């Protein structure tokens, strides 16, 4: 049986091809041993492909498929006997090669406008393209290109501007592109891309928390924590506002710990947070007031705790606490307040030796009190030098007479005794404060001098033992031993006269000083 001459084209009738891909059309015959083949377009445009003839079939290969291949192709086959067969196939093109490309500014700042761009590369036919931009499920932008009249592949772009927030971190920006060509059978007709948002923001909502609170007790621990919202994490700098309004740098982490707070830790603490990306700064402050029993911070005597009589002396006492302390300054010996609470410095002009002693500073508030003591040591030269003669009654020859010299001073004066010689010179006779003469004789009579001395001066006093002239009754001559006291003060002038009289038996060759002393007695 001889087969009839037939021809067919594969793929048949209507072909949907992707631009950039490969398409092979095959024209195949039966019933003819050696047919001849030819290919042409319906409009006699260039084939845009390569023809390859074989014994019973012919191929037209388009590699890559391009926009020029959008035609109806006609294959003609002629058998040896001149019989002719023709068939055509329509090639329809599309281009949707890749997922959308999302472009977002790498440094989004919350609250500032941000632009998101979605690009759909090499799309065709673009008048069927629909694009949707979403932030999670929230639609940012929707656009179609139905009015587009592009005749070739093009990259289409959709752009939208939005204002990111801190809550947008981690959300997804999604671009959905649909090439909805109803009469074309190809997949995929929808492509999607997503990108997570990382918005930079802050710092914002910066606060400081104080534990255990803003008013810790002195000696307690204190922790200040600075909390802020920032992306990327903010740099934190702690500082304290000082009294002279300068800023003292402390530490750079978000927790400031003071193991044992003192009153001088009171003040305004500042947490400054800096976002180096957004270039924004925010500050938070907290006022810390340390409470507790007063602490005496200064208790001093100027110019020194040891002074010389006559110098100007300042006694200073100060304390700190919260609530503020009441300060009392007094001398312990007389328990007398020297100044009211408000005084910070007590002035003792030309200080006297009587002002020396122990001073006490008491600082108190509702939490308790603190006390401190200090001693004011006033140095001065000998004062109030006195001579006492014992016995004060009648002295008899052969008896014992005791002369005691006393003097006050700081440091305690050194006391010595001297006796005037007939030549007028003085002879040191004792380094003791008490001078004792035993078995009193006439040669013991004369002027005795007591000298009190320290580094700040000296003071002298004298006593004279002498014999008074005879009395009127010759049968009862009564010599009198007189102790005459006089003073020569070096450091502090003073004069005192003390006369001691005692009666003795008559002594031949006695002499009298009565006339010389009459004016002094």
State residue 250's pLDDT score. 61
Q: If pLDDT is split at 50, 70 and 90, which confidence band does 268 have?
A: very high
Q: If pLDDT is split at 50, 70 and 90, which confidence band does 241 have?
A: confident
State residue 505's pLDDT score. 28
- Edge-first strand order for the sheet with 172-179 is 138-144, 129-135, 172-179, 190-196
State residue 274's pLDDT score. 95
Is pLDDT above 60 for 2? Answer: yes
Under 8 Å between Cβ of 411 and 454: yes
Under 8 Å between Cβ of 386 and 408: no
Mean pLDDT of 378-387: 94
Under 8 Å between Cβ of 112 and 142: no
State residue 77's pLDDT score. 94
Is pLDDT above 70 for 392? Answer: yes
Higher pLDDT, 136 or 469: 136
Under 8 Å between Cβ of 446 and 419: yes
Under 8 Å between Cβ of 74 and 42: yes
Q: If pLDDT is split at 50, 70 and 90, which confidence band does 491 have?
A: very low
Q: If pLDDT is split at 50, 70 and 90, which confidence band does 252 have?
A: low
Radius of gyration of the chain (CA): 62
Q: Could you tell me what percent of the chain has a pLDDT over 70?
A: 84
pLDDT digits (tens, 9 = 90+) for 84-99: 999 999 999 999 999 9
Q: Alpha carbon of 258 to those of 49, 261, 266: distances in Å?
A: 84, 6, 11
Residue 13 CA to residue 9 CA, distance in Å, equals 8
Name all domains of the chain by residue range, CATH numbers in brackets. Answer: 6-94 (2.60.40.10), 101-199 (2.60.40.10), 205-288 (2.60.40.10), 293-379 (2.60.40.10), 380-465 (2.60.40.10)
Is pLDDT above 90 for 509? Answer: no
- Report the SS3 class of residue 436: strand
pLDDT digits (tens, 9 = 90+) for 415-441: 999 998 878 888 898 999 999 989 888
Q: Alpha carbon of 176 to those of 143, 144, 145, 158, 415: distances in Å?
A: 11, 12, 14, 11, 117
Per-residue tokens: 112: 């500032």
Mean pLDDT of 278-286: 93
State residue 467's pLDDT score. 54
> What's phi and psi for 400, nearest 5 deg?
-105, 130
Residue 331 CA to residue 317 CA, distance in Å, equals 13
Is pLDDT above 90 for 145? Answer: yes
pLDDT digits (tens, 9 = 90+) for 151-182: 899 999 999 999 988 888 889 999 999 998 88
pLDDT digits (tens, 9 = 90+) for 21-54: 999 999 999 988 889 999 999 778 888 999 999 9
Residue 140 CA to residue 160 CA, distance in Å, equals 7
State residue 63's pLDDT score. 94
Q: Which strand (E) or helix (H) includes residue 517?
A: helix 514-517
Is pLDDT above 60 for 498? Answer: no
Residue 135 CA to residue 390 CA, distance in Å, equals 119
Higher pLDDT, 183 or 436: 436
Is pLDDT above 80 for 204? Answer: yes
Per-residue tokens: 382: 């000998």
Q: Which residues contact 106 (CB under 8 A, 6 or more apart)?
A: none
**What are the DSSP calls for 135-171, one per residue?**
ETTEEEEEEE-TT---SS-EEEEEEEEE---GGGTT-
Tokens 């707070």 label which residue? Answer: 261
Torsion of CA 135, 136, 138, 139, to 10 degrees: 60
Cβ atoms < 10 Å from Cβ of 484: 20
The mean pLDDT value of the chain amounts to 83
Is pLDDT above 70 for 515? Answer: no
User: 403 forms bridges with which residues in the sheet?
Assistant: 389, 435
Mean pLDDT of 369-380: 93
State residue 409's pLDDT score. 94
Q: Among 163, 227, 221, which residue's Cα sits nearest to residue 197?
A: 163
pLDDT digits (tens, 9 = 90+) for 363-373: 999 999 999 99
Under 8 Å between Cβ of 484 and 499: yes
Is pLDDT above 60 for 284? Answer: yes
State residue 422's pLDDT score. 77
Higher pLDDT, 509 or 102: 102
Per-residue tokens: 372: 């401190």
Is pLDDT above 50 for 507? Answer: no
pLDDT digits (tens, 9 = 90+) for 58-111: 999 999 999 999 989 999 999 987 889 999 999 999 999 999 999 998 778 888
Is pLDDT above 80 for 478? Answer: no
State residue 344's pLDDT score. 65
Higher pLDDT, 342 or 365: 365
What's 470's DSSP letter?
P
Residue 284 CA to residue 206 CA, distance in Å, equals 6
State residue 281's pLDDT score. 95
Is pLDDT above 50 for 504? Answer: no
Find the angle CA(491)-CA(492)-CA(494) to the nearest 5 degrees.
130
Cβ atoms < 10 Å from Cβ of 333: 11
Is pLDDT above 90 for 483? Answer: no
């Amino acid at each position: 049986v001889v087969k009839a001459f037939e021809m067919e084209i594969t793929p048949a009738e209507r072909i949907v091809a992707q631009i950039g891909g490969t398409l092979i059309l095959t024209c195949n015959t039966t019933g003819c041993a050696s047919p001849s083949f030819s290919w042409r377009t319906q409009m006699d445009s260039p084939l845009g492909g390569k023809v390859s003839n074989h014994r019973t079939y012919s191929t037209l290969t388009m590699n890559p498929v391009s926009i020029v291949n959008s035609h109806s192709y006609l294959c003609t086959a002629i058998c040896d006997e001149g019989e002719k067969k023709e068939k055509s196939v329509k090639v329809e093109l599309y281009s949707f090669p890749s997922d959308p490309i999302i472009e977002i500014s790498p440094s989004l700042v919350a609250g500032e406008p941000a632009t998101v761009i979605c690009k759909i590369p090499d799309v065709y036919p673009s008048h069927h393209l629909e694009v949707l931009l979403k932030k999670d499920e929230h639609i940012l932008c929707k656009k179609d290109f139905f009015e587009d009249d592009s005749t070739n592949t093009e990259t289409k772009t959709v752009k939208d501007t939005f204002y990111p927030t801190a809550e947008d971190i981690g959300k997804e920006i999604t671009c959905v592109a649909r090439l909805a060509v109803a009469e074309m059978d190809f997949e995929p007709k929808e492509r999607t891309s997503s990108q997570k948002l990382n918005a930079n923001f802050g710092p914002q909502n910066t606060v400081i928390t104080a534990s255990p609170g803003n008013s810790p007790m002195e000696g307690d621990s204190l922790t200040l924590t600075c909390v802020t919202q920032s992306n990327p994490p903010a740099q934190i700098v702690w500082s304290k506002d000082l009294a002279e309004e300068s800023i003292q740098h402390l530490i750079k982490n978000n927790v400031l710990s003071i193991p044992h707070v003192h009153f001088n830790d009171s003040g305004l603490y500042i947490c400054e947070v800096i976002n180096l990306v957004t270039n924004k700064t925010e500050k938070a402050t907290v006022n810390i007031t340390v409470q507790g029993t007063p602490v005496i911070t200064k208790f001093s005597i100027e110019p020194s705790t040891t002074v010389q009589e006559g110098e100007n002396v300042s006694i200073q006492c100060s304390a700190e606490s919260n609530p503020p302390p009441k300060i009392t300054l007094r001398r312990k010996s007389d328990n007398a307040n020297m100044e009211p609470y408000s005084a910070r410095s007590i002035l003792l002009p030309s200080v006297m030796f009587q002002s020396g002693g122990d001073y006490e500073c008491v600082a108190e508030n509702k939490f308790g009190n603190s006390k401190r003591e200090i001693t004011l040591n006033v140095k001065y030269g000998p004062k109030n030098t006195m001579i006492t003669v014992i016995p004060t009654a009648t002295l008899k020859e052969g008896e014992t007479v005791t002369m005691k010299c006393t003097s006050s001073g700081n440091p305690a004066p050194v006391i010595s005794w001297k006796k005037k010689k007939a030549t007028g010179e003085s002879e040191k006779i004792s380094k003791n404060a008490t001078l004792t003469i035993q078995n009193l004789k006439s040669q013991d009579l004369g002027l005795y001098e007591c000298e009190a001395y320290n580094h700040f001066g000296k003071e002298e006093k004298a006593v004279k033992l002498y014999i008074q002239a005879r009395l009127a009754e010759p049968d009862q001559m009564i010599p009198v031993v007189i102790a005459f006291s006089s003073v020569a003060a070096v450091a502090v002038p003073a004069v005192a006269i003390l006369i001691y009289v005692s009666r003795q038996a008559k002594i031949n060759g006695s002499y009298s000083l009565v006339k010389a002393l009459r004016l002094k007695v």
